[in-house]
């Protein structure tokens, strides 16, 4: 599992470690790691052109000491000193090694961003903002020290211009803002340099499951398994207008390994589900009640269901059961109007996008997008549910637990119907006995991995994602061996 920490957590760990070491040891460890990454990117260090963007903090010192090491290996290293003051010892070592202080960006092969560190928040001030904009426009590799300048290391917020890094070299442990959009989009390839913080780190702020973690959590049928032990899921989805949502949700559940799918809907989606998925046990509803559907171990409600009185009554009936429920799409609109429906003993997993979450907690959608971590946590605590917040960074939040960040996926997943597939996958895992926290985390991972497999860099349709879920499950062992890293 990949873990990440806030700036305050990292600083406390650094202070505890520094108390056991000679002064300056941590900075030299950081500079050594940064130098190694830069040298690897350059390929041939001797004669290469490197520019350091140096701020007033310790990561400016890291950049200067790395510049010193590169200069001693024959690189032409220049530095723009942008801060009101500069790390004195680092600057002296840099100059002694042949480094030069300049005032213009020029035409470097590699730029090292050492402007602001993990303690910075809010929009970059001048001259940093203009310098970052200019450096972003240069045709050069960009390496960020610890965190791309302009990204809040604790939240992932980006209040203005920020460094567009090709590689971010972060020290000691991953920072929360490097995994959460919009900040994560600025990171590029993430390299974590071990400087000895491990024994001093607290419980993580956020975590990301690896393929090995997901493989360990997924239920596997054994010799004694039957369709009932593998999990029976009920799905209330689709309507006369949105028949496809029912087909996709049922497909996601079946492809994710549900032992049995009981589908309940009106005549038009029933016809489509029967034609596409003869494995499903179908109940045609002539009134909004699930009384005749049969016993299930979890419910999915909402995709394509509509938001009128009929749908409201059906969702209320699902939530009146004593089994876990996953709410998606139209069901989220219904409960945003009647939050009392969420008062139940059995657990609830909701899977909103930012707009749906904004209606649930009464916060404008643009604010949710700008601060996804904050609002996912708030919704989990306020509503008493597990939240799977969909988007460029999918977050799984449960009160008093580290937020989980999903690192799989493809931008091609941003197409209609893929969320319906996700709801089916998540519901199948709930029915199999996973907690909402684990079911949401594993569903997001598998859904993202299936999206990668289905697209292979090209457009996809939602049905392609459902069909790729078994391949995603089969690939977990190979992914876990390779580390499943996101670049």
Residue ranges at the known binding site for AMP: 390-394, 419
Tokens 């974590």 correspond to what residue? 192
**Which residue ranges are tagged as binding site for (6S)-NADPHX?**
58-62, 117-123, 128, 146, 245, 304, 353, 420
The span from the CA of 423 to the CA of 432, in Å, is: 14
How far from the centroid of its chain's Cα atoms is residue 381's Cα?
Answer: 19
For residue 226, the tally of other CB atoms under 10 A from its CB is 9
Alpha helices in 286-328 (DSSP H): 309-319
Phi, psi of 262 (to 5 degrees): -105, 115
Is the CB of residue 72 less than 8 Å from the CB of residue 40?
no
DSSP E strands, 201-346: 206-208, 232-236, 260-265, 281-284, 298-301, 325-327
The span from the CA of 484 to the CA of 210, in Å, is: 7
Alpha helices in 258-340 (DSSP H): 267-276, 309-319, 330-337
Under DSSP, the state recorded for 326 is E
Phi, psi of 386 (to 5 degrees): -95, 135
**Which residue ranges are tagged as binding site?**
58-62, 113, 117-123, 128, 146, 149, 245, 304, 353, 390-394, 419-420
Q: Using CB atoms within 10 Å of the CB of residue 201, give its burial: 0 to 12 exposed, 13 to 18 middle, 19+ buried.
A: middle
DSSP per residue over 33-90, as a string?
HHHHHHHHHHS--TT-EEEEEE-SSHHHHHHHHHHHHHHHTT-EEEEEE-SSS--HHH
String of b and e for 149-181 (b: at least 16 CB within 10 Å)? Answer: bbbbbbbbbbeebbbbbbbbbbbbbbbbbbbbb
């Amino acid at each position: 599992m990949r873990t990440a920490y806030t700036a305050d957590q990292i600083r406390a760990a650094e202070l505890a470690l520094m108390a056991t070491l000679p002064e300056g040891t941590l900075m030299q460890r950081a500079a050594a790691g940064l130098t190694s990454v830069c040298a690897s990117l350059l390929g041939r260090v001797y004669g290469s052109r490197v520019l350091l963007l140096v701020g007033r903090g310790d990561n400016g010192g890291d950049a200067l000491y790395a510049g010193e090491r590169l200069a001693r290996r024959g690189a032409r290293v220049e530095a723009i000193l942008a801060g009101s003051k500069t790390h004195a010892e680092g600057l002296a070592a840099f100059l002694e090694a042949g480094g030069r202080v300049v005032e213009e960006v020029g035409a470097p092969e590699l730029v090292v961003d050492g402007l602001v560190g993990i303690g910075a928040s809010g929009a970059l001030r001048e001259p940093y903002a203009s310098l970052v904009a200019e450096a972003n426009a240069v045709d050069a590799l960009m390496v960020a020290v610890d965190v791309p300048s302009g990204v809040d290391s604790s939240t992932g917020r980006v209040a203005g211009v920020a460094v567009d890094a090709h590689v971010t070299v972060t020290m000691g442990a991953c920072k929360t803002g490097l995994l959460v959009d919009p900040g994560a989009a600025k990171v590029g390839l993430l390299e974590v340099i071990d400087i000895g913080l491990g024994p001093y780190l607290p419980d993580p702020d956020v975590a990301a499951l690896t393929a090995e973690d997901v493989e360990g959590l997924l239920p596997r049928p054994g010799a004694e398994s039957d369709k009932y032990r593998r999990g029976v899921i009920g799905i209330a989805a689709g309507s006369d207008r949105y028949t496809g949502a029912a087909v996709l949700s049922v497909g996601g559940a079946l492809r994710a390994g549900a032992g049995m799918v009981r589908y309940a809907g009106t005549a038009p989606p029933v016809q489509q589900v029967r034609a596409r998925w003869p494995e499903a046990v179908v109940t045609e509803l002539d009134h909004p009640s699930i009384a005749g559907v049969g016993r299930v171990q979890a419910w999915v409600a909402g995709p394509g269901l509509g938001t009128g009185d009929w749908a409201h009554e059906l969702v209320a009936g699902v939530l009146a059961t004593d089994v876990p429920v996953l709410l998606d799409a139209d069901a989220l609109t219904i409960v945003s109007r009647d939050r009392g429906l969420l008062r139940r003993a059995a657990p609830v997993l909701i899977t909103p996008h930012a707009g749906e979450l904004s209606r649930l907690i009464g916060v404008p959608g643009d604010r949710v997008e700008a601060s996804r971590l904050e609002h996912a946590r708030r919704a989990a605590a306020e509503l008493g549910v597990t939240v799977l917040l969909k988007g460029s960074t999918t977050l799984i939040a449960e009160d008093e637990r580290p937020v989980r960040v999903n690192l799989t996926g493809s931008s091609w997943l941003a197409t209609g119907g893929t969320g319906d597939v996700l709801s089916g996958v998540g519901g199948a895992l709930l029915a199999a006995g996973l907690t909402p926290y684990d079911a949401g985390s594993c569903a997001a991972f598998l859904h993202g991995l299936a999206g990668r497999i289905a697209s292979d860099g090209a457009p996809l349709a939602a049905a392609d994602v459902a069909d790729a879920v078994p391949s995603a499950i089969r690939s977990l062992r190979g992914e876990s061996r390779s580390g499943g890293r996101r670049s």
